[in-house]
Structure 1
Amino acid sequence: MKHLLVTLLLSTPALAETCPPSSDITTELNALIEDANAAQDERSGRAVSDKMWMVWLRAPDASAQEVLDRGMRQRGNFDFVGAYESFDALVAYCPDYAEGYNQRAFISFLREDFAAALIDLERALDLSPDHVGAQSGRALTLMNLGRRAEARTQLEAALENNPWLSERHLLADGAPLGPEGEEL
């Protein structure tokens, strides 16, 4: 694994340098959270969600963007091993960039390594507390770990930031995170 990380780091010329600090996206994200909460319909809400992703997927520099984009392509091609290695290299290069952790967590989630996913999601949220994608990912991960009450609380927090998440349906009656019925 270390050999692959070194290869990935060296295959992107500027990656041997230090990653610049991530931009402060707080103001931009807060405005999008307001827009999401003001959206009148699903179509408008989804458009705001897409804008949120554009913010999170903006890497700190061109080298980091190249690695992020490569990992996204690998994931899209179901090369989860390659994608994980790319996101692992991204996290090593830019340890303060929340999206690197979020994307690596998603690969762990897809591989059903929920414990590893949870660690990365918690780091992403430490770096970017209102990252709706990481919030909803953490809710899904907790649900898969059988931690239903925590998952419900996390999903409710995500929905405060974006009420149009598709995961909102998990809170409906009879859904996996919906209200618990009375015992017979």
Structure 2
Amino acid sequence: MAVNPMPFLSLFLPLFGAAMLALLPSPAWADQTDVRLDGLFDLLATSSGRPAAQAAEAEIWRIWVASGREEIDALMAEGLVAMNDQRFEDAIDLFGQITRRAPEFAEGWNKRATAYYLNDDHVASVRDIQTTLALEPRHFGAISGMGLIFLRRGDEEGALAAFEAVLAIHPGAPGARQRVEELRKRLGERGA
């Protein structure tokens, strides 16, 4: 009996592609302008297999968080520790130093937006999300953050639009599909 290799290959090739992209030598710089991102976003958008999408997403985040400048990367690491320790004011200050020293570095703005969100300053968070998206329009993390802010404000239509935008970039985004389904159901029930 002949075995059809196509089901195996359809699972294996996206994983192999993500692994090969991850093995490419890292340039001295890395951020939202990194040339590897286009291929990773293509893989993210077309991967039907969850492991391949997860590998592409992890590599995108790894690239986004690395500025390639030692002082900026040190501030990023320190800010992440502060945020993880729930020292949000410290994190905001550290990420603010990044945005002042490297205003072109999208992830500095995104991380500060996250710290503002966690510190319940949604106005400042939205402002930084807008800057993040001006620098990196494909930033599914920032768009998802905007969706969460819309939810906190009770704007379900805005939240739905944000999470649908996330899925257009990252169809396997954790939680986005579930939120879209829940919001469509709730909004549909109100419209009926």
Q: Same fold (TM over 0.5)?
A: yes
Q: Which moved more, 1:142-151 or 1:59-68?
A: 142-151
1:85 aligns with 2:122: no
Which position in structure 2 is the counterpart of 1:68? 76
Q: CA RMSD in A?
A: 2.0
Choose between structure 1 and 2 for higher RCO, CA contacts under 8 A separated by at least 6 residues: 1
Which position in structure 1 is the counterpart of 2:38? 30
Provide, for residues 111-147 of structure 1, a one-character-per-residue CA deviation record: whole Å limited to 9, x for no partner: 1211111111011001111111111112212222222
- How far 1:22 moved relative to its partner? 7.4
| AA of the residue aligned to 1:31 | G
Residue 188 of structure 2: which of 177, 181, 184 is its match? 181
Residue 45 of structure 1: which of 31, 38, 53 is its match? 53
| AA of the residue aligned to 2:43 | D
Stretches of 4+ moved more than 6 A in 1?
none
Whether the aligned pair in 1 keeps the contact of 2:30 and 2:63 (CA below 8 Å) is no
Residue 113 of structure 1: which of 95, 110, 121 is its match? 121
Which position in structure 2 is the counterpart of 1:170? 179
Whether the aligned pair in 1 keeps the contact of 2:32 and 2:64 (CA below 8 Å) is no
Distance 1:133 1:87, change over 3 A: same
Paired positions, count = 161
Secondary structure of 1:84's counterpart equals helix
Q: Which moved more, 1:158-167 or 1:117-126?
A: 158-167
Mind listing any 5+ residue stretches in structure 1 that lack a counterpart?
1-20
Q: Which moved more, 1:57-66 or 1:25-34?
A: 25-34
Which position in structure 2 is the counterpart of 1:4? none
Q: 2: distance between equivalents of 1:24 and 1:155?
A: 21
Distance 1:182 1:151, change over 3 A: closer
Q: 2: distance between equivalents of 1:26 and 1:64?
A: 16
| AA of the residue aligned to 1:72 | L
Question: Percentage identity across aligned positions?
Answer: 24
TM-score, normalised relative to structure 1: 0.79
| AA of the residue aligned to 1:171 | V
Greater Rg, structure 1 or structure 2?
2
Q: 1: distance between equivalents of 2:134 and 2:38?
A: 17
Distance 1:96 1:22, change over 3 A: farther
Which position in structure 2 is the counterpart of 1:58? 66
Q: Which moved more, 1:151-160 or 1:92-101?
A: 151-160
- How far 1:43 moved relative to its partner? 2.6
Secondary structure of 1:178's counterpart equals helix
Provide, for residues 75-103 of structure 1, a one-character-per-residue CA deviation record: whole Å limited to 9, x for no partner: 12222121111011111111111111100
- How far 1:23 moved relative to its partner? 5.3
